[in-house]
Structure 1
Amino acid sequence: MHSPTIQTPEWYRYLAELYDQAGSQKGRAAMPEKLALALQYLSRADSILVMVYFPNKRPVLLYADIDHSCRKNNFDEYLQGFYLLDPFYQMAFSCSDVTLFHLQDICENSFFDSEYYASWYKQSGLKDEVNYLIPLEGEAVAAISLSRNMDNSVFSTSKISQLDIIKPLISNVMKCHWADQNPLPAEEENREQDLHGALCKAMENFGRSLLTDREVEITQFLLRGYSIKATALKLDIAPSTIKVHRKHIYKKLDITSHSELFSLFIDALSVVSKDGEDDPLLRYHQ
């Protein structure tokens, strides 16, 4: 079976359906789903998510076609704070124009040995991912994630090139959809902003009741999947010094491995205080 391309007649049928949606508000509301179906056809992705990231509140899910049952469960955890560790989320607000990112290009090799990769990608049965990041009005950023499962191949260079060519189309569709969206009611908006703020603060303060400032800083990098070498480069200190700090971190937190550190962080997020100002471990150990 030949891989579809942007010259394939079926692709043009998907584009025609997208064009038909633009003429009415109801049609524009359905654009994320129609776009997702078109991209799923072109990319041969097994799963697709269309979300919107915000700098001051949790992501909002617009559309999901998730092939793996474990990923459905994981996505609930993702919205409860996991997203803060997502490399695509971390890059989203530095994009000035629509950009297509490939997971293998934005992460150093050590990321694929990290607990984030094991807990989100491997446990979800995912092998590879590409992600469109599209800046919208009001500092929002749309994110379209195309993923392939372990029994599929990784995205080829030619397929990524095809997906990259259609970036202007992707951007225009998402902006057209977003222009019709109404803001959340004030009470709900405030609640979402408060929750996101509390999660961010909790991440900053994780372990602070037990660790030194430098150890907290190193813990942040370890949680985000940075290797010893990469952390040392970021902090401009020797890798051997990072190893010593890591040993002290593990001892103070009563853990013995990176996987235990990651699990402790995820568990601690479930008991974050309303403002997140204190170390979530204080509540977790109560």
Structure 2
Amino acid sequence: MARITAGIGCSHIPVLGFAHDHGRTEEPAFKPAFEGFDWTRSWMREEARPDVVILVYNDHASAFDMKIIPTFAIGCGELFSPADEGFGPRPVPPVIGHPDLAWHIAQSLILDEFDMTIINEMAVDHGLTVPLTMMFGAVDAWPCKVIPLAVNVVTYPPPSGNRCWSLGEAIARAVESYDEDLNVQIWGTGGMSHQLQGPRAGLINREWDNRFLDGLVGEGQDLRNIPHIEYLRETGSEGIEMVMWLIMRGALGARTQVRHRHYHVPVSNTALGHIVLEPSPIASMAAASLESTQ
């Protein structure tokens, strides 16, 4: 059966795409940010290249606008082209989808009482393409198929952290019920603390961000109960994007272990966070033992 083998959390700061595309990754302003992904790129090449990535991100008015605001939307198409965000599409490969798995997940989630919006055609912006660049670098084609999962964190009300965590759990059930042998990763993107406008523009909360990263590791589930107002107060108006990381965490099961972690400020006027998690072998063995006794 298909299995989720790892989860990745990653900021999707648009200036990182600009720096990469214009050959500026070695400049002092950008080098520390990119170096924090060296471990992950090596791990992907040598140990953990996925067949499919379920990539959780938010659209920035490229595919959706105020005419339609889906809370959760899953891309079930065969191909998703880079969006023109005002300066032309990024010079990166198109995203190749996995329609069979995506439709299976959509059906499973809807029958599991999640009201998903099914998207067969949409452009994907920096929210999706920047994480792919950070993980794979410059490539002629992305080395895996990608299922986009867009979450509304732009227009109030966004989903709660608890609902996002529960969606991750439901995604894991859906993947495990798919009968093809696939190595699947799930990525939660966006964040960390940042505010782009108003008197608090440029807000960065290192302490809160790192507590959030701490909470993704191990058995704790405290993160799923953080209220919207705390994200707003402590991490700025755009910090709510971190609820998308909770979809990733919820899909990894009862306990996680960390393989790599990176935090750097500032990048542009935001904080950069990155973490690589795996389901804990102890939790996996316990679940297998429980199944064998039933």
TM-score tier (shorter): under 0.3
Q: Normalised by the size of structure 1, how large is the TM-score?
A: 0.26
Q: Bigger relative contact order, structure 1 or 2, given CA contacts below 8 A and separation 6+?
A: 2
Q: Which has the higher Rg, Structure 1 or Structure 2?
A: 1
More strand by share: 2
Q: Normalised by the size of structure 2, how large is the TM-score?
A: 0.26
